[in-house]
Amino acid sequence: MITYKSKREIERMRSAGQVIAKVFDLVGDLVRPGITTGEIDAKVEEFICSEGGTPSFKGYHGFPGSICASVNDEIVHGIPSDRELADGDLFTIDVGVIIRGYHGDAARSFPVGAVSADVARLAAATAEALNDGIQACRPGNRLSDIARAVEARGRGDGYGIVKQYVGHGIGTDLHEEPQVPNYVSDSLLKSDLVLKRGLVIAIEPMFNLGTGETRTLDDEWTVVTKDGKCSAHFEDTVAITDDGPEIMTRPIDRQDLRIWSVSA
Ligand code: MG
């Protein structure tokens, strides 16, 4: 069932979103060679709780962390651990927060030290694909308009688009209907939802340097690229309003924020 949120509910959802926006500022300051993904997880959890929120992921289907921490060829669902980040790594944090009964969900890929030009371009393209998808979030457009915008960016730049994992509706549940794929398919076109005011969705392109194929590690969580090449992931929670998209998980005064930048 698809739920449409009232103005009042969207206001409440903003609370979780704004905590996540601040988490990304925190993580941007923390990420450096030598820090472990477990240390980042602990700091983020502490911060979320200090803001009056609860990490949505911790215990979700038994997931052990407050964040998903995925490095290089890890696409999504990496488990925080004593792994140290190294110069040249691409570190992806995916994080959910629930506050006042509503979830927010977002992800960013961060460079650790100096990343290669290939990896920097991959991350920049994935961030731009998210922005393209968000721009399609207008009443009267369809889900396929979001998918087409994301897919066009990935294909245009020659990246593998992960199809097995998709975006989703979000609200009082972390994962609600509809699914929000990053590519256009016959099945999407068959049931192509018209976007309406009050729909709140998480859009989350995952692009790979190689093919879009995935496999899951023996820990039964970590999803990696089949060919071992690098993957990037960006996600925001977006509310559709009469005025267009409102990005819940970016600062209210920095909605057009460039969410990826590398100093060359
Ligand atoms: Mg998500």
**What residues pack around ion ligand 1 (CB closer than 5 A)?**
105, 202
How far away, in angstroms, is 105 Cα from ligand 1 center?
5
Q: How many residues does the chain have?
A: 264
Q: Are 230 and 119 in contact (CB under 8 A)?
A: yes
> Where do the domains of the chain lie?
7-247
Q: What is the pLDDT of residues 156-187, one digit of tens each?
A: 999 999 999 999 999 999 999 999 999 999 99
How far away, in angstroms, is 210 Cα from ligand 1 center?
22
How far away, in angstroms, is 180 Cα from ligand 1 center?
10
How far away, in angstroms, is 226 Cα from ligand 1 center?
21
How far away, in angstroms, is 237 Cα from ligand 1 center?
8
How far away, in angstroms, is 188 Cα from ligand 1 center?
19
Measured distance CA(65)–CA(164) in Å, rounded: 22
How far away, in angstroms, is 94 Cα from ligand 1 center?
8
How far away, in angstroms, is 18 Cα from ligand 1 center?
16
Chain CA centroid to CA 148, Å:
18
pLDDT at 259: 80
pLDDT at 204: 98
How far away, in angstroms, is 13 Cα from ligand 1 center?
15
How far away, in angstroms, is 225 Cα from ligand 1 center?
18
How far away, in angstroms, is 170 Cα from ligand 1 center?
8
pLDDT at 264: 38
How far away, in angstroms, is 202 Cα from ligand 1 center?
6
Please state which CATH number belongs to domain 7-247: 3.90.230.10
How far away, in angstroms, is 2 Cα from ligand 1 center?
16
Q: What is the pLDDT of residues 56-87, one digit of tens each?
A: 999 999 999 999 999 999 999 999 999 999 99
How far away, in angstroms, is 120 Cα from ligand 1 center?
22
The residue among 130, 111, 132, 131 whose CA lies nearest residue 230 is 111
Q: Are 200 and 237 in contact (CB under 8 A)?
A: yes
pTM, whole model, 2 decimals? 0.97
How far away, in angstroms, is 235 Cα from ligand 1 center?
7
How far away, in angstroms, is 63 Cα from ligand 1 center?
14
How far away, in angstroms, is 200 Cα from ligand 1 center?
12
Strand order in the sheet with 160-161: 160-161, 206-208, 231-233
Local confidence pLDDT in tens for the 264 residues of the chain? 999 999 999 999 999 999 999 999 999 999 999 999 999 999 999 999 999 999 999 999 999 999 999 999 999 999 999 999 999 999 999 999 999 999 999 999 999 999 999 999 999 999 999 999 999 999 999 999 999 999 999 999 999 999 999 999 999 999 999 999 999 999 999 999 999 999 999 999 999 999 999 999 999 999 999 999 999 999 999 999 999 999 999 999 888 877 887 543
How far away, in angstroms, is 104 Cα from ligand 1 center?
9
Handedness of CA 240, 168, 130, 54 (dihedral sign): positive
How far away, in angstroms, is 204 Cα from ligand 1 center?
6
